[in-house]
């Protein structure tokens, strides 16, 4: 077994291919155990500190339920509780919280904040979403893909929309797992060129292919179509302008008809029906969005177990 104890997960790139696969396999085992009612309270007496600068349904409930099911305890610290960076510095918060909690998760605006927390914390820090990455989402999504397809190599995943935090984490995971990931976005909204360069390097060893294009026809033959909101948390002031720019990138039945008949539709949620997806696709037979949401729980449990036990 690989040793992830004490490590941070700020980026999917913090994990090797083998570690990522191990997390997915542990998540599968924990899911099976939960379904048959087998207890796995292996984090008895352990505390998770949760710093949230932004709203959340899935991530917050997944982390809190995870700690309950693992026999530990979670403390939620919302935007008005500690006022990160305003009432106290990030560095001091990391030092104090890590002197009491056994593991920390943080949902932040600036990616640098979660990096700083990891630097000054004595205990593992898990990124619960920053403006640059969403690693816990993508470990859960890889579990969903494994459940559906049995593996990853050679699968074509087309992410349609903004080259955002979710897109970056998908690119890293796809590169490590030997997938063909195509980010299809309007001009000016492509993913980070730095992430692309790193993924190209990783892909040389894994035979993955990671691309960024503007042409929506790139969904042709996809096994997986993935989309996310056009304006992420923190970009609300751009929402109206983005609606016009992103309109041709809506995932609707016509777009899905260009993919493989066996293709699935994914969305990290929350969804804006009528914008980045239609209700027909989101709640249609190809959609796995609620399986994805549930898998956040099982994958977060796997991360907590490997990092703290
Ligand atoms: N997908 C996701 O992270 O959902 P929440 O913002 O509700 O946590
Ligand atoms: N890109 C979205 C993901 C939400 C889970 C955001 O950052 O708001």
Say how many C-beta atoms besides its own lie within 10 A of residue 304's C-beta. Answer: 27
Q: What is the pLDDT of residues 85-113, one digit of tens each?
A: 899 999 999 999 999 999 999 999 999 99
Q: Where are the domains of the chain?
A: 12-134+296-308, 137-292
Give the ligand whose atoms come closest to the C-alpha of residue 167: 2
Q: Report residue 89: phi and psi, to 5°.
A: -75, 155
Distance CA 122, CA 99 (A): 7
Say how many C-beta atoms besides its own lie within 10 A of residue 20's C-beta. Answer: 22
The predicted model gives 53-60 an average pLDDT of 98
Please state the pTM of the whole predicted model.
0.98
Say how many C-beta atoms besides its own lie within 10 A of residue 16's C-beta. Answer: 13
For residues 205 and 178, the answer to whether their CB atoms sit within 8 Å is: no
Instruction: Enumerate the H helices of 36-181 as residue ranges.
Output: 58-69, 79-82, 90-97, 111-120, 135-149, 165-176
Which atom of ligand 1 lies at the shortest distance from residue 62's CA? 8
pLDDT at 75: 98
Q: Which architecture does CATH list for 137-292?
A: 3-Layer(aba) Sandwich (3.40)
Q: Report residue 184: phi and psi, to 5°.
A: -110, 110
Q: Is 114 helix (H, G, I), strand (E, B) or coil?
A: helix
Q: Is 56 near ligand 1, meaning CB less than 6 Å away?
A: yes
Instruction: Kindly report the average pLDDT of the chain as a whole number.
Output: 97
Domain 12-134+296-308, what fold? Rossmann fold (3.40.50)
Which atom of ligand 2 lies at the shortest distance from residue 59's CA? 5
Q: Is 268 near ligand 1, meaning CB less than 6 Å away?
A: yes
pLDDT at 47: 98
The dihedral region occupied by 188, where left means phi > 0, alpha psi between -120 and 50, and beta the remainder, is left
First vs last C-alpha separation in the chain: 13
* Atom 1, ligand 2: residue with shortest CA distance: 232
- Residue partners of 47: CB distance under 8 A and separation at least 6: 67, 72, 73, 74, 75, 100, 101, 102, 103
What's the 41 CA to ligand 2 centre distance in angstroms?
Answer: 31
Q: How confident is the model at residue 12 (pLDDT cuts 50, 70, 90)?
A: very high
* Atom 4, ligand 1: residue with shortest CA distance: 58
Q: How confident is the model at residue 1 (pLDDT cuts 50, 70, 90)?
A: low
For residues 161 and 227, the answer to whether their CB atoms sit within 8 Å is: yes
Q: Is 107 near ligand 1, meaning CB less than 6 Å away?
A: no
Distance CA 31, CA 161 (A): 31
Q: For this structure, is 69 an active site residue?
A: no
Say how many C-beta atoms besides its own lie within 10 A of residue 104's C-beta. Answer: 26
Q: Do domains 12-134+296-308 and 137-292 have the same CATH topology?
A: yes
Which atom of ligand 1 lies at the shortest distance from residue 129's CA? 3
The dihedral region occupied by 223, where left means phi > 0, alpha psi between -120 and 50, and beta the remainder, is alpha
What's the 207 CA to ligand 1 centre distance in angstroms?
Answer: 31
Rg from Cα positions in the chain = 19
pLDDT at 3: 84
Encoded tokens for 169:
């984490």
Q: What is the pLDDT of residues 28-47, one digit of tens each?
A: 999 999 999 999 999 999 99
Encoded tokens for 289:
């969005």
Distance CA 135, CA 166 (A): 8
Q: Report residue 263: phi and psi, to 5°.
A: -65, 150
CA 156-158-160 angle, 5° bins: 175
Q: For this structure, is 268 an active site residue?
A: yes
């Amino acid at each position: 077994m690989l040793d992830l104890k004490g490590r941070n997960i700020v980026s999917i790139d913090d994990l090797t291919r083998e570690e990522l696969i191990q997390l997915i396999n542990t998540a599968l085992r924990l899911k099976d155990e939960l379904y048959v009612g087998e207890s796995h309270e292996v984090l008895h007496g352990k505390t998770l500190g949760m710093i949230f600068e932004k709203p959340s349904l899935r991530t917050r409930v997944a982390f809190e339920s995870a700690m309950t099911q693992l026999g530990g305890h979670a403390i939620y610290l919302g935007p008005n509780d500690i006022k990160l960076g305003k009432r106290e510095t990030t560095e001091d918060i990391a030092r104090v919280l890590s002197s009491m909690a056994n593991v920390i998760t943080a949902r932040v605006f600036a990616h640098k904040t979660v990096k700083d927390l990891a630097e000054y914390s004595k205990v593992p820090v898990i990124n619960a979403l920053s403006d640059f990455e969403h690693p816990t989402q993508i470990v859960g999504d890889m579990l969903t893909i494994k459940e559906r397809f049995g593996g990853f190599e050679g699968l074509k995943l087309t992410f349609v929309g903004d080259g955002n935090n979710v897109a970056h984490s998908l690119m890293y995971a796809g590169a490590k797992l030997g997938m063909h990931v195509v980010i299809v976005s309007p001009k000016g909204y492509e993913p980070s060129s730095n992430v692309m360069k790193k993924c190209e390097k990783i892909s040389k060893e894994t035979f993955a292919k990671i691309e960024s294009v503007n042409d929506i026809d790139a969904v042709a033959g996809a096994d997986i179509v993935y989309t996310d909101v056009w304006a992420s948390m923190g970009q609300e002031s751009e929402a109206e302008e983005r609606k016009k720019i992103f309109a041709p990138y809506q995932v609707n039945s016509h777009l899905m008809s260009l993919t493989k008949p066996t293709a699935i539709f994914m969305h990290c949620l929350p969804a804006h029906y009528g914008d980045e997806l239609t209700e027909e696709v989101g709640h249609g037979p190809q959609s796995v969005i609620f399986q994805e949401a549930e898998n956040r729980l099982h994958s977060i449990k796997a991360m907590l177990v490997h990092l703290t036990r």
